Amino acid sequence: MITIKQFIFNPIQVNSYVLSDETKKAVIIDAGFFNSIEEKALFDYIEQNQLEVEKLLITHGHFDHVLGNKRLHEKLGIELWAHKADEKLIQKMVSYAALFGYKVEPGLLPHHYLSADEEIRFGNSHLQVIHVPGHSAGSVAFYSPEGGFAIVGDVLFKGSIGRTDLEDGDLDVLLSSIYNKLYTLPDETVIFSGHGSSTSIGIEKKTNPFT
């Protein structure tokens, strides 16, 4: 069974997730930690639970979701798996962050490109990659059919949807990703978004004013 630990990191309040199972193998999704206090909180959790982190995943390449990747790669030697279409966002993250008033270091580039429908394995668990462009071209969701949850980044939020005014953002494409990919998951699927509270597919189908 997958255990999900959520951290809220950096001034943009990104949800960072550590997923682990009974084998103590783990993956980290959207490691957004920004300073040494946040970094320590993440490493303390990994150490206290004796986790062996196998890979780093990102839902997309916006700077607030990738801030801790370089440090994790240096400390743990793990690879970054990301969709190729968002690599250029990471390459440009220093100037993107500056637009929002943040000074950041250059980001870690992917070692492995995620493809749509790829299956990611760790321990006894697996996650399905679902390509959900629209917020960015390389946005992906990580879906656990057994766990009944999906980590969807900035595509869908409780009561809202991702912004589409940034590079490669496209409202029609985003809505298509939501209707044709996320809303085809079972209603009870718990949705963990890139910011804010969790929700479910059924709740959003009924109450989300943007869909």
| Binding footprint of Zn ion on the chain (CB under 5 A) | 62, 154
115 φ/ψ angles, rounded to the nearest 5 degrees: -115, 155
123-126's contacts with Cβ under 8 Å and 24+ in sequence apart are: 123/20, 123/21, 123/22, 123/23, 123/24, 123/25, 123/26, 124/21, 124/22, 124/23, 125/2, 125/19, 125/21, 125/25
Q: Which is nearer to Zn ion, 62 or 181 (CB)?
A: 62
- Provide, rounded to whole angstroms, the least separation between the CB of residue 48 and Zn ion: 30
- Provide, rounded to whole angstroms, the least separation between the CB of residue 139 and Zn ion: 8
Q: Which is nearer to Zn ion, 25 or 62 (CB)?
A: 62
Q: Which is nearer to Zn ion, 100 or 179 (CB)?
A: 100
What are the residue ranges of helices labelled H in the chain?
36-48, 63-66, 69-76, 87-91, 93-99, 171-180, 201-207
- Provide, rounded to whole angstroms, the least separation between the CB of residue 44 and Zn ion: 27
Rounded CA separation 53/122 (Å)? 9
- Provide, rounded to whole angstroms, the least separation between the CB of residue 2 and Zn ion: 24
The CB-nearest residue to Zn ion is 62
Q: Which is nearer to Zn ion, 123 or 133 (CB)?
A: 133
Whether residue 150 contacts residue 140, with contact meaning beta carbons closer than 8 Å, is answered with no
Q: Which is nearer to Zn ion, 96 or 122 (CB)?
A: 96
- Provide, rounded to whole angstroms, the least separation between the CB of residue 135 and Zn ion: 6
